[in-house]
Structure 1
Amino acid sequence: MRVRWLGWAGVELEAEGESLVIDLLGEPEGVLEGTGLSAPLPTVTRPHTEGRVLAGLCTHLHRDHTDAAALARALRPGAPVLHPASFGGDDHENLWTLKADGELTQLGLPRRPMTAWETTGIGPFTIAAVPAVDGIGDPQLSWAVEAGGKRVIHLGDSMFHGYWWRAAHRHGPFDAVLTPVNGPALCFPHCQPASPRPAALDAEHAALAGRLLGAKAAIPIHYDGFHIDGVYGTRPDELSRYLDAAAAEEYEVLPLKPGEAVTV
């Protein structure tokens, strides 16, 4: 399986001449559109197989992980978008999912909501929806994908939780774990009082998650972008802090530049 980092949390998986994308982001500026906020934007790149992708997997319906326009360009006609099933609730609860959800609907992309531990096959890929925990309580899944005897898991921007061992037992061992590393502290208007705890895996938590998942290799994602003081707070040198935290682990760490790929 060929794993290509597309920047931020975006990943392209290729096997047997077919491909998937996970958490594709094409226009980072769209994440903050209409908020009045500005921030450093991550560097992103398009999938090599744009226009021919079998399916788009979204770990959750936040705009930086679900970019409907980018998915529309990437997917072949009729290809589905897989994402977590809704928890229900009103617009206040779902404030941070409304933009991405509305854009998917507006563009008429075929959608398949998935529940935890549900599995499906698309082309050469077996896809499993693994439970994950979102930093502000929105539905989130990790995606475990197998093709050609190789297995990877994409952790989206999950925070630390207790499903690691069950995921490894059911869907491991993992040839690669794609893990967020920036550990942001969030202060959003609909989630008050704010929590100072990391809303996604930080360096130390990401290093440990790789170990608990039985990773053979770990690929850091979800760093270098969107820092906003008092809203989305991250610490500097996110990648170097993760490399230090993972230095003593038995798995290999494979930092990539946007557009770079590795075969696992």
Structure 2
Amino acid sequence: MHIRWLGWAGVELEARGERLVIDLLGRPEGVLEGTPLTGVPLPKVVPPRGQGNVLAGLCTHLHRDHADAGALSRALAPEGVVLHPASYGGDDHENLWTLQAEAELAAHDLPRRAMNWWETTTIGPFTIAAVPAVDALGDPQVSWAVEADGTRVIHLGDTMYHGYWWRAAHRYGPFDAVLTPINGPTVCFPHCQPPSPYPAALDARHAAVAARLLQAKTAIPIHYDGFHSDLYATRPDELARFLDAAEGEPYEVLTPGLGEELLL
């Protein structure tokens, strides 16, 4: 399996000449449209090499920095499909951060399939499982476990620390690569008050432990170096902090450059 980091949480996987993407982001500035934030540092991103021929676009959750409808519509093959977690229900207040991504996916008329926790499907050479994950805002989220030709990877989106690591490793591991968020932001959004002081996604220490519990052979950090603001506060030197936290762990850490392809 070939794996390519596309920036932020975006990843492209290739096996037997077929491709899928996970948490594709094409226009980081689009995430901030309609918000009062300006001048916020944006992550750098690149398009998938399989642009227009991707079998599936997997979204760990329906936030716009992980579910970019425009980027998905450009990347997917005519028969391509978007996979995302099933809805939890609730009113518009509860779903405030998913409504726009939902509307944009519908506007692009993208074929979609909602997946429940532990549900598995096969698309081309890829076997794909929706693994439980926990979103900081309580929105539906999964991690995607993907296997092709005996190689296993898991993409953790921007999950918080939780207790499903051992079950995921038992059912779908050990993993050749764990793609893990590392920036550990604290958030203060108007519809989630009072705010929590705890990391809204895995921070360096949590990510290092999660990769160990998932029985990783390699850990690949993602979801860092972007969107810093008062409402989305991160600590400096995110990558360096993760490298320090992973020192002495039983897995190798790979830090591909933007657009760099790795062979697992």
With normalisation by structure 2, the TM-score equals 0.99
Give the Cα separation in 1 of the matches to 2:258 and 2:23.
14
**Which SS does the other structure have where 1:50 is aligned?**
coil
* 2:77 partner SS: coil
Deviation at 1:36, TM superposition (A): 1.7
Question: Residue 250 of structure 1 aligns with which residue?
Answer: 250
CA distance in 1, matches of 2:53, 2:63: 24
* Amino acid across the alignment from 2:32: L
Alignment of 1:154-173 (within 5 A): 154-173=155-174
Counterparts of 2:92 and 2:190, CA distance in 1: 13
* Deviation per residue, 1:141-184 (Å, 9 max, x gap): 00000001000000000000000000000000100000000000
Residue type of the alignment partner of 2:30? G
Amino acid at match of 2:203: D
In the alignment, what sits opposite 2:58? Answer: 57
Report 1:79-228 matches (<5 A).
Answer: 79-228=80-229
Give the SS at the match of 1:216. strand
- Which position in structure 1 is the counterpart of 2:46? 45
Paired AA for residue 182 in structure 2 = V
CA distance in 2, matches of 1:130, 1:7: 22
Instruction: Give unmatched runs, 5+ long, in structure 1.
Output: none
Q: Number of matched residues?
A: 263
Secondary structure of the residue aligned to 1:88 is coil
In structure 1, distance between residues paired with 2:89 and 2:2: 36
Deviates more, 1:253-262 or 1:194-203: 253-262
Q: Deviations over 1:24-73 (max 9, x none)?
A: 00000000100021210000000011100000000000000000000000
| 2-structure distance, mates of 1:6, 1:171 | 24
CA distance in 1: counterparts of 2:119 and 2:226, whole angstroms: 32
User: What is the RMSD computed on CA atoms of the aligned residues?
Assistant: 0.5
Q: 1:78 Cα shift?
A: 2.5
SS in 2 for 1:208: helix
Deviation of residue 247 (structure 1)?
Answer: 1.1
CA distance in 1, matches of 2:63, 2:171: 27
Unaligned ranges ≥5, structure 2: none
